[in-house]
Structure 1
Amino acid sequence: MAKKNINEMSFLDHLEDLRWHLIRIVVAVVITATAAFFAKSFIFDFLIFGPAKSNFVTYKILCDLAQNFGMSDSFCFEELPFQIQSRTMAGQFSAHIWTAILAGFVIAFPYILYELWKFISPALHENERKHSRGFIIIASILFFIGVLFGYYIICPLSINFLGSYQVSSQVHNDFDLDSYIGLVRSSVLASGLVFELPILIYFLTKIGLVTPEFLRKYRKYALILVLVVSAIITPPDIASQIIVAIPILILYEVSIYISRIVIRNQRRNEKKHA
């Protein structure tokens, strides 16, 4: 049966269409999560626990930089002073399941965007769809860059600081498995979603909620917000916050440029139809 034109679809028809898109998204995540479930050694030993090892690439780079510039050698160590433990019967199995689901979501992210785009795109004009064909590719690239940034920058900075922090030499750090994985998960996902800022600004500009003038006017407030976000998702030291704040500020400036392009194209189209 042929799919109805969007103008002929009722509210219930739209809900039914959305339901099938969501079902396909869930199926894609389940398939990729199943593959991740069976790749347990790679997911946990190499990826999840990678930032907890002294030979992690970020620590090596920061250690070399610190030695070359005569800075603190806090990133030069043989072993991080903490242990990871599971204190519940189903702790490790539960961590395995939820980590596989997270990995499935990350791997399937381009397809998730594709299904959401298929649901949204019929409501756009033909020229809007034409100018937005690279949406899935660009949004996916930004998301994966954010995920890598979270994994290679935020995770090791946080793990090194929090894992080495002590209020007293009498207190030894033994972290629960869920707590450790939760830090890795939040760092990776938060960074991936934050890097979608240019895409968000693009759509907010398209519907008239944001303008380049608005973004420039409130740039100083955005700077404060970025520093607050950096303080939340990183350890409470200035160097880590600056490292995280810099790419977010760059994304904000890119978003202003994108918003300006959208407004310029809208005005050009209005002149053509005037």
Structure 2
Amino acid sequence: MALRKGRARNPEGRMRLVEHLRELRRRVLLALAGVAVMTVPGWFLYTPVFDALQAPVLAVDDAALTAALIFTTPAAAFDMRVRVALWVATFIASPWWLYQVWAYIAPGLTRTEKRRSLLFVVAGVPLFLAGAVLAWLVLPNAIRVLIQFTPEGALNYMPATDYVRFVMRVILAFAIAFLLPLLMVLVNALGLVSARTLLAGWRWAVLLIFIFAGIASPTPDPWTMIALALPMCALYFGAVGIAALHDRRVDRRLAARDAELLGPEA
């Protein structure tokens, strides 16, 4: 009842700055709590996940290039398990923390806008995971290329914590990059940016995508960068296409409403 009265007094869901900050803190804490809970299955998934993470190094070692992961301190193995558990939890809990992002935005939206913006959660999870899968497909070749720079006669023994941190950052960078086109669709659905505006900056968008791909790419060769940049470009133009369809529907609806208001005088 109190919620209904509050909504009646404030139908647009407006909040003061302090209330926005409190709500933001609440959603961040809920997202972190979800990740913390998912560290429990992440802890028990450590062995198969770590085996998969070190597989590219073992494959290189089998190819007559000596390479191996080492633990340099007594606590390194425990620290590794905690890092991997949190990293796995981030992916398992992705529906939850993406929902928290949506829930923070939703109070200020109309009912129609809420339905449209829910796409952020529905499509965000597979896109996030697709970016991680692409990174995983690129990594073995990237690691092999990097290890080949080892001088002849030298041994490439890598601290396990440094190697896994490197792999986790690359995979997360790919995964987050795949969410950016979804943000474009979301801001268009909210009426903040038109498809024409998004398309007008396509040259800068492609340039920034390749710059990001060059920075996020784990190897200096151009093929890894292209493997990341091309799917992102395709997602960008796909997002522009979806935004254009949305704008066309909005224009038709506005035109029909104007014609109805003008009536016979038109």
Same fold (TM over 0.5): yes
Partner of 1:64 in structure 2?
none
Query: Number of paired residues?
Result: 251
1:108 aligns with 2:114: no
Change (3 A) 1:39 1:130: closer
Secondary structure at the residue paired with 1:49? helix
Change (3 A) 1:209 1:80: farther
| TM-score normalised by structure 2 residue count | 0.82
1-structure distance, mates of 2:212, 2:16: 41
Change (3 A) 1:133 1:223: closer
Partner of 2:262 in structure 1?
none
Structure 2, unaligned runs of 5 or more: 259-266
**1:266 CA displacement:** 3.8
Partner of 2:145 in structure 1?
161
Is contact 1:82–1:173 with CA below 8 Å preserved after alignment?
yes
Is contact 1:226–1:248 with CA below 8 Å preserved after alignment?
yes
Partner of 1:261 in structure 2?
245
Secondary structure at the residue paired with 2:158? strand
Partner of 2:115 in structure 1?
130
Higher helix share: 2
1-structure distance, mates of 2:253, 2:64: 61
Aligned counterpart in structure 1 of residue 197 of structure 2, from 209, 214, 222: 214
Change (3 A) 1:12 1:226: closer
**1:273 CA displacement:** 5.3
Partner of 1:49 in structure 2?
54
Is contact 2:58–2:67 with CA below 8 Å preserved after alignment?
no
Is contact 1:82–1:164 with CA below 8 Å preserved after alignment?
no
- Letter of the 1:222 counterpart: A
Partner of 2:263 in structure 1?
none
Aligned ranges for residues 24-173 of structure 1 at < 5 Å?
A: 24-45=30-51, 47-54=52-59, 78=63, 80-153=65-138, 155-166=139-150, 168-173=151-156
Larger-Rg structure: 2
Change (3 A) 1:24 1:242: closer
Change (3 A) 1:146 1:79: farther
Aligned counterpart in structure 1 of residue 174 of structure 2, from 183, 191, 201: 191
Deviations 1:125-154 (Å, cap 9, x if unpaired)? Answer: 11112333333111111111111111122x
Change (3 A) 1:85 1:223: same
Is contact 1:202–1:262 with CA below 8 Å preserved after alignment?
no
Structure 1, unaligned runs of 5 or more: 55-74
Secondary structure at the residue paired with 1:53? helix
- Letter of the 2:245 counterpart: I
Change (3 A) 1:209 1:14: closer
2-structure distance, mates of 1:80, 1:266: 60
| TM-score normalised by structure 1 residue count | 0.80
2-structure distance, mates of 1:170, 1:250: 43
**1:269 CA displacement:** 4.6
- Letter of the 1:173 counterpart: N
Change (3 A) 1:13 1:216: closer
Aligned counterpart in structure 2 of residue 21 of structure 1, from 17, 27, 49: 27
Deviates more, 1:29-38 or 1:170-179: 170-179
Is contact 1:81–1:164 with CA below 8 Å preserved after alignment?
no
2-structure distance, mates of 1:225, 1:132: 25
Change (3 A) 1:9 1:253: closer
Secondary structure at the residue paired with 1:87? coil
2-structure distance, mates of 1:230, 1:17: 34
Deviations 1:71-105 (Å, cap 9, x if unpaired)? Answer: xxxx9x63553121122332221121122111111
Q: Percent identity?
A: 24
Deviations 1:131-186 (Å, cap 9, x if unpaired)? Answer: 33333111111111111111122x213211112222x3243322111221122111
Change (3 A) 1:8 1:138: closer
1:248 aligns with 2:232: yes
Is contact 1:37–1:96 with CA below 8 Å preserved after alignment?
yes
Secondary structure at the residue paired with 1:83? strand
Partner of 1:238 in structure 2?
222
**1:207 CA displacement:** 5.5
